[in-house]
């Protein structure tokens, strides 16, 4: 009885093909060889490329299988995989910690409301979050963009100890947007929950 390939089989097969071919798994007559420091060796027979890999105590790794002929590089494949995994983990960790909060203001905000909004922005920056500041224009206010620019500049100055302007003000339809990001040194070692409790 023939075994029918299930969706799971196909998916598992797909995962296997992601891994580059190395050493004797590379089954082509010749390759374009790149040395361990990125130097171009040229087109060589696969047997010669494998011999060079053994002599250098390195692996022959296929880095561009679709090229004609395929491009292979001499490298320590175990070290390469380890460094790639570390980079991916670091990238994931940075992504999960980047939170963007949003604060909306009107161009003619009164001083009490401004102080309240500013304290929220300060709390977000202390917790290590980025803050998207949105100035909302209505009616004739749209013809006075300088009001929004002045307000954003004032806010940036007021919180400069905690954060900096990562994205300068830009007009987006009826709104004007600016992004503040926390100073890295201010965030290190901070415990967001304690900060929020202190500010509440």
Handedness of CA 91, 92, 97, 102 (dihedral sign): positive
State the CATH number of the domain containing residue 15: 3.10.20.80
Same structural domain for residues 103 and 144?
yes
Same structural domain for residues 171 and 141?
yes
Same structural domain for residues 112 and 192?
yes
pLDDT (average), residues 114-130: 93
Domains identified in the chain, total number? 2
Strand 163-172 to 175-182 pairing = antiparallel
pLDDT given for residue 184 in this prediction: 76
On whether residue 82 sits in a domain, the answer given is no
- Which among 160, 197, 195, 196 is positioned nearest to 181, based on CA atoms? 160
Measured between alpha carbons, how far is 10 from 51 in angstroms, rounded to an integer? 35
Boundary of a domain, candidates 76, 106, 127: 76
Q: What is the pTM of this model?
A: 0.46
On whether residue 134 sits in a domain, the answer given is yes
Containing domain of residue 179, as a range? 98-199
* pLDDT tens, position by position, 21-59: 999 999 999 999 999 999 999 999 999 999 999 999 999
Same structural domain for residues 48 and 116?
no
State the CATH number of the domain containing residue 180: 3.30.110.10
């Amino acid at each position: 009885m023939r075994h029918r390939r299930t969706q799971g089989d196909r998916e598992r097969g797909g995962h296997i093909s992601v891994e580059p071919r190395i050493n004797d798994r590379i089954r082509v007559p010749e390759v374009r060889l790149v040395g361990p420091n990125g130097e171009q060796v040229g087109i060589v027979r696969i047997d010669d490329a494998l011999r060079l890999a053994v002599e250098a105590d390195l692996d022959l790794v296929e880095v561009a299988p679709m090229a004609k002929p395929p491009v292979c590089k001499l490298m320590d494949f175990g070290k390469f995989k380890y460094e790639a995994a570390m980079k991916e983990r670091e990238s994931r960790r940075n992504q999960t910690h980047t939170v963007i909060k949003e604060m909306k203001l009107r161009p003619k905000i009164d001083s009490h409301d401004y102080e309240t909004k500013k304290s929220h922005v300060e709390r977000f920056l202390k917790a290590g979050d980025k803050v998207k500041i949105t100035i909302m224009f209505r009616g004739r206010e749209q013809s006075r963009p300088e009001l929004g620019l002045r307000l954003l500049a004032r806010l940036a100055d007021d919180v400069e100890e905690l954060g900096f302007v990562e994205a300068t003000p830009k007009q987006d339809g009826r709104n004007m947007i600016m992004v503040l990001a926390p100073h890295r040194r201010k965030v290190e070692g901070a415990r967001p929950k304690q900060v929020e409790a202190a500010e509440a």
